Amino acid sequence: MSRVETSEGDNKTAYTEKLVSVNRIAKVVKGGKRFSFSALVIVGDGHGRVGFGTGKAREVPDAVKKASEQARQRMVRVPLRESRTIHHDVTGRFGAGLVVLRTAPAGTGIIAGGAMRAIFESLGIQDVVSKCVGSTNPHNMVRSTFSALCATASPRSVASRRGKNVGEIISKRGDAQGTKGSVRG
């Protein structure tokens, strides 16, 4: 189930909300069963900020509202290359879920399914290839995708941590990739 809503925040930024999953929960009591609902929501601004949240309530709209409020509070910034893809290949793990995210050339599109697609669309990524190995539970997929996205680093941040300039970092990356496939004769 996927639903898209755009709302105005306090700082006049338009956020995109995507409902990833809704589960019905039954609590067995003396008089029968009491039903409640839990929701998983992804919120993003389309420019490198995204968050996820879960909410639980007696009615679906209340659960979605709680989840979207939590998602707005837990938003993280992800560095994007050329505002369309991630900087490098990365893997993320949560529980039995493992996701592999790969950078892609322009025009590839979003090669992902379900919860991962919702994250990438809300984040503003246009080109990425992803693979889910193991658990396909939406909660595990979302958390493992977020662990992978939080592990990405831009060349600028790597250079500042190492005390170098960006040119040195990028030229070393190119040298390492060029020598990897060389044949010695």
Structural domains in the chain plus CATH codes: 4-77 (3.30.160.20), 90-175 (3.30.230.10)
Residue 72 pLDDT > 60, yes or no?
yes
The alpha helices in the chain, defined as continuous H runs, are 60-73, 114-123, 138-150, 155-162, 166-180
Residue 157, pLDDT > 70, answer: yes
Q: What is the mean pLDDT of the chain?
A: 87
Q: If 0-12 CB within 10 Å is exposed, 13-18 middle and 19+ buried, where does residue 128 land?
A: buried
Whether the Cβ atoms of residue 146 and residue 122 lie closer than 8 Å to each other: no
What's the pLDDT tens digit per position in 99-129?
Answer: 999 999 999 999 998 899 999 999 999 999 9
Residue 4 has pLDDT above 50, yes or no: no
Beta-carbon neighbour count of residue 38 at 10 Å?
18
Give the mean model confidence (pLDDT) for residues 135-162.
91
**pTM exceeds 0.85 for this model:** no
Residues 136, 140, 144, CA angle at the centre, nearest 5°? 110
In the prediction, which pLDDT does 173 show? 55
d(Cα 138, Cα 153) in Å, to the nearest integer?
25
Name residue 62's amino acid: D
pLDDT at 164: 86
* Confidence grade of residue 63 (pLDDT, cut at 50, 70, 90): very high
pLDDT of residue 2: 41
Write the pLDDT tens digit of every residue in 48-57: 999 999 999 9
Q: What is the pLDDT of residues 158-172, one digit of tens each?
A: 888 888 888 887 776
